[in-house]
Amino acid sequence: MKPMTRKNLVVWIALLPMAATVLLAYLGTMLWSARMSVSGSRTFPSYDFVGAAQYMRLFDNERWLLSLQNVALYGVLFIAACLVIGFLLAVFIDQKVMAEGVLRTVFLYPYAMSFVATGLIWQWMLNPELGIQQVLRQMGFANARFDWIVDQDMVIYTLVIATVWQASGLVMALLLSGLRGIDEELWKAARIDGIPRWRVYASIVLPMLGPSLSTAFVLLFVMVVKVFDAVVAMTQGGPGTASEVPAKFIMDYLFGRANVGLASAASIVLLATVLAIVAPLYFVRGRASRLKEA
Amino acid sequence: MSATMPVKSATRRRLGWTPARAGVYGFLIVAALFFLLPLYVMIMTSLKPMEEIRLGTLFALPLRPTLDAWSVAWQSACTGLECSGIRGGFWNSVRIVVPSAVLSIAIGAVNGYALSFWRPRGAGVLFAILMMGAFIPAQVMIYPLVRVLAAAHLYSSLPGIVLIHTIFGMPVMTLLFRNYYASLPLELFKAARIDGGGFWRIFLQLMLPMSTPVIVVAAIMQVTGIWNDFLLGLVFAGADNLPMTVQLNNIINTTTGERLYNVNMAATILTSMVPLALYFISGRWFVRGIASGAVKG
């Protein structure tokens, strides 16, 4: 190691906020939460050691298991719907349509809004007494039912609708910039060979959008793991506990129920899930880009 | 119009009117209506008096449009016992967003500059960990951060929430500036070094003046992101500094008595106004932020 020169010293002083953030705010908090998850902490941290007891209690906790089940169903539907709708919007906008700028603005504006506002708007639209259900009944469908937001079995789908409305424009924007990077020669070649456009999209363009799709997937996946604001604003986890999610479980046990040990165990499970999904994707992509450079 | 990306002019070739073409427009129009519907409902509801809302005609235009709900939402809607509307939250959000955005952009710029041009030993590892940090769910960090801030007497204070936003914004801001500076020619930096420029002089006099585009993108991302934040404001800001999103949720979800849907929707629009205005004014830059900050979590 070189002796610390004056030049290096200045650079490191400039990087001090970053070093402190990485070491204390990111690594430090992770280690602390991991430590808490193997302690019996309630309101205040304690430093006893209870082994995996908190994790076992966690996976005996019905509300946690329900949260996991909810977020899994929500996540699959949310990610699939956003990718499909975003892809279709991008492809259809890419057909040299009129008013492209207007359409793009319309599809992306919900993404500028907060999840709280998103949840509140849809809570109102789906209101069983005065919302869409009532409109359907006034239109003559006297028995129309669209009270999903107060239905334990259907409430999770309302969450999907609201957040897909908010986030699918993001996928469209990402894929559209991917589509614009595709060479026009491809289309000429396909036309000469008489390959229908949809075939080209399905067999050639879609694989070429791989990097954009994986970026979109990672962004959506992180949103799923973090989903909290929208639930709090839209359903407060209800009716009953039918729309509970892990992020909300952790917040409730940290602050409402003062059970830091259990909440920390839950947060470490969440962290492990994220790393298990995101790290391999980034590893593969990093290797692919290195291969390309070589 | 905003949100327009450059299109290769050679590709601007209209296709003939075919059934497939009609299908494309049909799909896009239906999709556009679906995306616009909530905005329409929100605005219409906010303009109706409660008697009209009780009719259950969600999609109808207001018969007697009024701005009463807007003024109630702004200055006299109740959260719990306090009835001073959402304006307090608006100013709290302004007080949180401005210093948080300035600080996180400044630190991101210095980080990006140091990482791209000076590359001190070990900084690459720090940067890699910082990037992983973008994916860490906030719930893992919240409790330890609460304890640390409480020990430093910063919990539930304005400086505390500003610090928190700076920490959570650092991965994306650093990445954004690092990528921008990496795209500048290295010769520029080398020449400045030969002319005897030091770390700060090169940054302030050479790099910063060339950074306007990336600063604009960073500002849009940070103002939108911090304004829309709910979780961090809820936990760290404290009762005196609750941001607008938290107050909005309190007004709508904790009121007792009759629910004033027109007031609720007016308050929701008011809360969304800042990021929406930013989006409509700066569309193209907004999209650029999405593309370059793609690790944002």
pLDDT-based confidence at A198, cuts 50/70/90? confident
Question: What is the model's pLDDT at position B136?
Answer: 87
> B250 at the A interface (CB within 8 A)?
no
Question: According to the model, what pLDDT value does residue B294 have?
Answer: 54
B1–A169 CB contact, under 8 Å:
no
Average pLDDT over chain B reads 88
**Homologous superfamily, domain A73-244:** MetI-like (1.10.3720.10)
* Most confident region among A92-96, B1-5, B92-96 by mean pLDDT: B92-96
> Residues 93..122 of A with a Cβ closer than 8 Å to B: which?
93, 95-97, 100-117, 120-122
Per-residue pLDDT at A137 exceeds 60: yes
Interface of A with B in 5-44 (CB under 8 A): 7-8, 10-12, 14-15, 17-19, 21-22, 24-30, 32-33, 36
- Beta carbons of B58 and A29 less than 8 Å apart: no
pLDDT at residue B130 greater than cutoff 60: yes
Q: Closest CB to A112: pick one of B38, B261, B276.
A: B276
Q: Which residue has the tokens 């200055």?
A: B75
B189-223 tens-digit pLDDT: 999 999 988 999 999 999 999 999 999 999 999 99
Statement: residue B296 has pLDDT above 60: no
The SS3 assignment for A44 reads coil
When mean pLDDT is compared across A108-112, A140-144, B6-10, the lowest value belongs to B6-10
* Per-residue model confidence (pLDDT) at position A46: 86
d(CA B73, CA B252): 10
- Six token digits for residue A55: 């994790």
d(CA A80, CA A72): 12
> Chain A contacts of B294, Cβ < 8 Å?
174, 215, 218-219
CB contact under 8 A, B38 and A180: no
Q: If contacts are CB pairs under 8 Å, which of residues 6-45 in chain B contact chain A?
A: 7-8, 10-15, 21, 24-25, 27-28, 31-32, 34-39, 41-42, 45
Mean residue pLDDT of chain A comes to 90
Task: List the single residue in A with minimal CA-CA distance to B224.
Answer: A112
In which band, very low, low, confident or very high, does the pLDDT at A195 lie, cut at 50, 70 and 90?
Answer: confident
- Reported as a pLDDT band with limits 50, 70 and 90, residue B293 is low
What pLDDT, on the 0 to 100 scale, is given for residue A214?
87
Asked if B243 contacts B93 with a C-beta cutoff of 8 angstroms, the reply is yes
Please say if the pLDDT value at position A19 is more than 70: yes
Which run of H or of E encompasses B263? helix B261-292
How far is residue B168 from each of residues B12, B192, B253, B279, B289, measured CA to CA in Å? 42, 33, 27, 22, 17
**For residue B297, what pLDDT is reported?**
33
> Quick one: which of B255, B233, B52 has its CA closest to A120?
B255
| Sign of the CA dihedral running A110, A116, A118, A124 | negative
Residue B12: closest C-alpha in chain A? A96
Contacts of A116 in chain B (CB under 8 A): 228, 230, 245, 248-249, 271
In a domain, B95, yes or no: yes
pTM beyond 0.95:
no
pLDDT tens digits, B23-54: 889 999 999 999 999 999 999 999 999 999 99
pLDDT tens-place string over residues A155-169 = 999 999 999 999 999
Residue B133 confidence (pLDDT): 84
CA nearest to B221 within chain A: A112
Distances (CA, A) of B135 to A29, A168, B168: 14, 20, 10
B4 vs B245, which has greater pLDDT? B245
Q: What pLDDT, on a 0 to 100 scale, did the predictor assign at position B2?
A: 41
Domain-embedded: residue B5: no
Residue B54 lies in domain: 19-66
pLDDT in tens, B247-286: 999 999 876 778 899 999 999 999 999 999 999 998 778 8
Flag whether pLDDT at A5 surpasses 80. no
Mean pLDDT of B75-89: 85
Choose among B36, B130, B297: nearest Cβ to A222: B297
Residue B200 and residue B127 share a domain? yes
- Rounded CA-CA distance B287/B279 in Å is 9
Q: Are B174 and A26 in contact (CB under 8 A)?
A: no
CB atoms B10 and A33 under 8 Å: no
B260, part of any domain: no
Distance CA(B18)–CA(B262), nearest Å, equals 44
CATH number at residue B237: 1.10.3720.10
Same domain, B33 and B173: no
Check whether residue B29 and residue B112 sit in a common domain.
no
pLDDT of residue A292: 61
Residues A70-94: what's their mean pLDDT?
96
Task: Report the pLDDT value the prediction gives residue B16, as an integer from 0 to 100.
Answer: 62
Sort residue A261 into left (φ over 0), alpha (ψ -120 to 50) or beta: alpha
Pick A233's closest partner by Cβ from B111, B253, B261. B253
Is residue B174 less than 8 Å (CB to CB) from chain A? Answer: yes
Q: Does the structure show a pLDDT above 60 at A100?
A: yes
The residue type found at A21 is T
Question: Are the beta carbons of A100 and A93 closer than 8 angstroms?
Answer: yes
pLDDT score for A68 = 95
pLDDT of res. B7? 43
Total number of domains constituting chain B: 2
Q: b/e map of B113-137 (b: 16 or more CB within 10 Å)?
A: bbbbbbebeebeebbeebbbbbbbb
Token code pair at residue A245: 């999610």
Contact present, B168 and B293 (Cβ < 8 Å): no
When pLDDT is cut at 50, 70 and 90, the band that residue A182 belongs to is confident
Select the more confidently predicted residue: B11 or A272. A272
Q: Which two tokens stand for residue A35?
A: 């430590």
Name the nearest CA neighbour of B116 among B176, B166, B167. Answer: B176
Whether residue B81 is contained in a domain is answered as: no
> What is the C-alpha to C-alpha distance for residues A161 and B34, in angstroms, rounded to an integer?
11
Identify the sign of the CA torsion B228, B234, B235, B236. positive
Q: Is residue B158 part of a domain?
A: yes
**Predicted confidence band of residue B83 (pLDDT cuts 50, 70, 90):** confident
Given pLDDT bands bounded at 50, 70 and 90, which one contains residue B14? low
| Arithmetic mean of pLDDT, A175-197 | 86
pLDDT band at A261 (very low <50, low <70, confident <90, very high): very high
Contact B138 A108 (CB under 8 A): no
Q: Six-digit token pair at B296?
A: 């944002």
Whole-angstrom distance, CA of residue A159 vs CA of residue A155: 7
The per-residue pLDDT for B280 is 92
Pick from B114, B217, B147, B101: which is nearest to A18 by CA? B114
Same domain, B40 and B178: no
Mean of pLDDT values over B164-174? 95
Mark yes or no for CB contact A112/B275 under 8 Å.
Answer: yes
Same structural domain for residues B50 and B112?
no
B108 and B238 share a domain?
A: yes
Q: Does A215 touch chain B (CB under 8 A)?
A: yes
3-state secondary structure of B79: strand
Contacts 24+ apart (CB under 8 A), B74-82: B74/B266, B74/B270, B77/B251, B77/B260, B77/B263, B77/B267, B78/B251, B78/B255, B79/B247, B79/B250, B79/B251, B79/B254, B79/B255, B80/B250, B80/B254
Asked if residue A239 has a cis previous peptide bond (ω within 30° of 0), the answer is yes
Mutate to test the interface with A, among B39, B97, B118, B143 (most CBs of A within 10 A): B143
% chain A with pLDDT above 70: 96
Residues B140 and B277 placed together within one structural domain of the fold: yes
Q: Is B82 helix (H, G, I), strand (E, B) or coil?
A: strand
In a domain, B39, yes or no: yes
B36, B42, B135: best mutation site toward chain A, by most A Cβ within 10 Å? Answer: B135
Q: Is B34 helix (H, G, I), strand (E, B) or coil?
A: helix
Q: What is the structure's pLDDT at A190?
A: 87
Are residue B123 and residue B29 in the same domain, yes or no? Answer: no
Indicate whether A294 pLDDT > 70. Answer: no
Give the integer Cα–Cα distance in Å for B213 and B216.
5
Residue in A69, A72, A123 with CA at minimum distance from that of residue A234: A123
In a domain, B84, yes or no: no
Structure tokens, B272: 């969304």
Whether residues B99 and B240 share a domain: the answer is yes
Check pLDDT > 60 for residue B292: yes
Query: Within an 8 Å CB–CB cutoff, is residue B278 touching chain A?
Result: yes
Q: Specify if B12 maps to a domain.
A: no
What's residue B8's pLDDT? 42
Mean pLDDT along residues A74-88: 97
DSSP secondary structure of B189-224: HHHHHHTT--HHHIIIIIIGGG-HHHHHHHHHHHHH
A49 interface with B at CB cutoff 8 Å: no
B35 & B116 share domain: no
**Which residue of chain B comes nearest to A19, CA vs CA?**
B126
Q: Tell me the per-residue pLDDT of A143-153, one tens digit each, with 9 for 90 and over.
A: 888 889 988 99
**Residue of B31, B57, B138 lying closest to A135 (CB–CB):** B57
Does the pLDDT value for residue B78 go beyond 90?
no
With a cut of 50, say whether residue A87 has pLDDT above it.
yes
**A272 — contact with chain B (CB < 8 Å)?**
no
pLDDT beyond 70 at A217: yes
pLDDT band at B1 (very low <50, low <70, confident <90, very high): very low
Asked if B117 and B181 touch (Cβ cutoff 8 Å), the reply is: yes
Q: Do B252 and A120 touch (CB under 8 A)?
A: yes
With beta carbons under 8 A apart, name residues in chain A contacting B291.
173-174, 177
| Residue among B139, B286, B295 whose CB faces A250 most closely | B139
Going by pLDDT thresholds of 50, 70 and 90, the confidence category of residue A202 is confident
Residues B56 and B99 in one domain: no
